Structure 1
Amino acid sequence: MASSPAGLSVGTPPGAWPLVGHAADLARAPLDVLTCLPEHGDLVELRVMGRRLYFPCHPELVWQVLTDDRTFDRTGPMWTTTRRLLGNGLALRSRQDHRSSRRAVQPSFHHALLRHQAALMEEEITATTAEWHDHQHVDLYAALVGTAVRTVTRALFASRAPREALADLQRHAVAVIDTGLWRLAAPRPLRDLGLSRLRRLTHTISELRRSHGATAGDGIVARLEQAMPAASDRDIAEEVVSLYLGATDTSALAVCWALHLLTRHPADARRLHRELEETLHGRGARYSDLPRLPRTGRVVAEALRLYPPAWFVFRCTTRPVELAGKHLPTGSTVVVCPAAVHRNPALYEDPSAFDPDRWLPDRAAPRRGAYVPFGAGARKCVAEHFGTTQAVLTLATLVHLWDPRPTARTDGRPAHFAAMLKPRRFVLEVRARRTPD
């Protein structure tokens, strides 16, 4: 391990195999490998299939990479492939296109609109759980992704399309969201199989826009049309795809991992249940309840720390740069892994422990770059507050009205080759709670 002039160290973990490098370890136990990266330096080099990947593990380095998009941009072959599979919406644009896209999308997630959007969340959470029965085994991940997709779809189109017309859109959106990391590394013929998913989704979005006239301020799509008057059907469709990617899986996974942690920490589950009993009194959570649900918010924040949904954030250097004293030439791949800093013992006391109280107001806030589940800088997730609001409302409603318990089919280990950090199988038994009359 070498030290930089600024005192930051550069290292490489042992155990790289010929040809594949560290890929075998990453495939076998990805979260374990990524969590241990800080043991090997502040900037850690992994070798994967003949490529050198640089992982910043010090919060200042993480902050530098995430906020300097002039130097660390979304360019290079990997991003070209990703845009080919998922379109060129806000979440995937390179720096030169990002600013204008951000200005068009940002107003749709203004806090003044969140109350109305939260009402949609409440309705869809209620609709999902209304279909459950006592002791039913439920694939919670699939159910919550469905809930999030329906919520986003209604926020996108508002009153412009009837519910039945949105069914195909929702189905195609789930298929696109489920794209795996393996597809990015697969030979081109296999990669291109995913193009049909994107084509079906973009076609359905365009058909809905043509079939249902816009009304001023009516949904996110109408606002995009007003903000992007010269945009083509494809431009609007790709922005919609990007919003699906950013505002669905994140909230669903935050709730899944929170439930996973609560089932393993019954004392924390009891404390959360007491807060919900005192606030909700046998009904689902509402937007107006959020100020009285601080523990629920802390549970979600802690789940996002331990299991950040976007576990890889790729950047490519656009010019030569020094990082932790190491010279990186143009075209180097830098990978921010939030778990590597979120579980770093130099940044968090007992970092592997589930401790929602570490987010109490009187506790010291993490230093910049040490908590980045939604990124940082100009590229910080535009739907951050939308996603966390949905996660808190969903978790509160589920835990208050139901008692989810693991089953033999529950496997909380991270899924292999998934684009997001999700459990392999998350089938839980839901037991209805008996609330007093």
Structure 2
Amino acid sequence: MLGSTFFLAVTCLLINSAGSQKIQSVACEGSEAQLKCGKGQVISVSRATYGRLDRNTCSSGKPANQISNIKCSRSSDKVAERCNGKQQCDFKADNSEFGDPCQGTYKYLEVEYTCEKKTEPERSSPQKSPTVACEGSVAQLQCGKDEFISVSTATYGRRDQKTCSAGRPEGQLQNIKCSSSSGKVAERCNGKQQCDFKADNSEFGDPCQGTYKYLEVEYTCEKKTEPECISQKDSALACEGRVAKLRCGKGEVISVSGATYGRRDQKTCSIRRPEGQLKNTQCSMSSDKVAKSCNGRRWCNFKASNSVFGDPCVGTYKYLEVEYTCEVPERRLQNATAVVCEGKGAKLLCGKGEGIYVSRATYGRRDQKTCSTGRPEGQLKNTQCSSSSDKVAKRCNGRRACKLRATNSVFGDPCVGTYKYLEVDYLCYATMTG
């Protein structure tokens, strides 16, 4: 008589037709799947499902009614997101991680992955460990001499119960599905050697009231070295969810000639993607968003995402393709800063044959001196109420002159009762024609 299957977690080796080893790891509900590769190798998850597909797996000691439903499997990319690129990774098979696809059924997590040779990226950009700052504290991003910060992801909220949990009541740690991405850290820190950023609701909003949150930033330190050769025409490609990096040499600026988001062939960005996500090759849309954000800059990062471009073809795995040139301006870029007190207006103005490029715009208050004349002390105390805005860039980029007004009706009110001001960092660049 064949006995029940007795295991909490097991790892098997499978050999595919190409001869490479595909590893299968199974973890019963409540236990941990252990993914592990050898020295010089990293994990690459091809599939992860949570639920139940048969009556034998993880069945020991379980009543029949908890293993009878074998059509309750849910695919998830969470394991790939957390484990890909690591040598070793543990992942708990739990409803708090994956949700509950079938209540009353005893489930298991099944992961298929391969161990791939660790390869160095084309550009030297050593990945630093994620920087975490608990709510109310400051994240400190630091690179070495002749290096600059390049932020890849920044999230604010809570994704587990362990991080930033010391001394906190259980009720403030239970919600682990309240994480929101933000581009503010990248906007403020990219290109700098050192940067501090406060983990605070005034900066990021409050994605989950009553939960104690934290800021998690992943970034690399990139060398301030010039490429050996800058081609006259260049291109950048980013698969959906990744970042396209546009780079020019010293004394040159980006000029985007075209940017498309969607899919035009079945080969690009196809690795480990099911055939159904690659079939539609007639779903490409042009966009001027990359040009508006990147033109006139020496380097620029731009995320390939539906939240940025919209979704031209639901269910298709897309990519961003950018064509650009690196051009030498007629004269050097001129940097300037404009400050507009609340309720006042101002005008950004560049010279003839020049265009405005806004690198940063914040509305609120960061010190007690700016725009303080004639104001009571109570309106100047709060210096932690500054919010970034892309409205100035959208209105002014590419124009020679642009009028602004610093009001709550335009930018919202980040701190009621505080007298605020608008601060804009921008540059004037020589516009290119012909």
- Give the TM-score of the pair, scaled to structure 1: 0.23
Rg larger in 1 or in 2?
Answer: 2
User: Greater RCO between the two (CA within 8 Å, min separation 6)?
Assistant: 1
- Give the TM-score of the pair, scaled to structure 2: 0.23
Q: In proportion to residue count, which structure has more helix?
A: 1
Q: In proportion to residue count, which structure has more strand?
A: 2
